Amino acid sequence: MEKRRIGSLEVSVVGIGCNNFGGRIDEQRTAAVVDAALDAGINFFDTADVYGGTRSEELLGRALGGRRSQVIIATKFGVPLDDERKGGAKPAYIQRAVEDSLRRLGTDWIDLYQLHRPDPETPIGDTLEALDALRCARTPRPWAGG
């Protein structure tokens, strides 16, 4: 499978969008899609906390299991999930959202963390500072050589 770079990440030119995981397809079918993708050399999986009502991240994490270090996971935050998790890009919300996504994915790192849509209520500088703090707070990743 041909690969391209997204910053320091080397991703397959074909990625798997996981918006149907936990919605249109169940856990068993999600696992089949993930297995087929890995067999085909695909290493890039794109999900979001809102996909499948948060189930996409859960099912992707379970389907990957011990193969987590073989893949690049992109996930997104910022879309309202419920009355308690109203979305946005304020630093406190980002911290909660990332911890929730890490738990659902069953991992201790996210390779590419993205704001799903702009938040006109939050200055972009505040959002970028919060994201940079997350990046700096994490330990080195297997894909980064240590």
Q: Which residues contact 32 (CB under 8 A, 6 or more apart)?
A: none
What tokens does 88 get? 């946005």
Residue 76: phi and psi, rounded to 5, are -130, 160
Q: Which residues make beta-bridge pairs with 44?
A: 15, 72
Among residues 4, 7, 25, which one has the least CA distance to residue 15?
4
Tell me if residue 76 falls in helix, strand or coil: strand
Catalytic residue numbers read: 51
Instruction: Label the pairing between strands 44-46 and 15-17.
Output: parallel
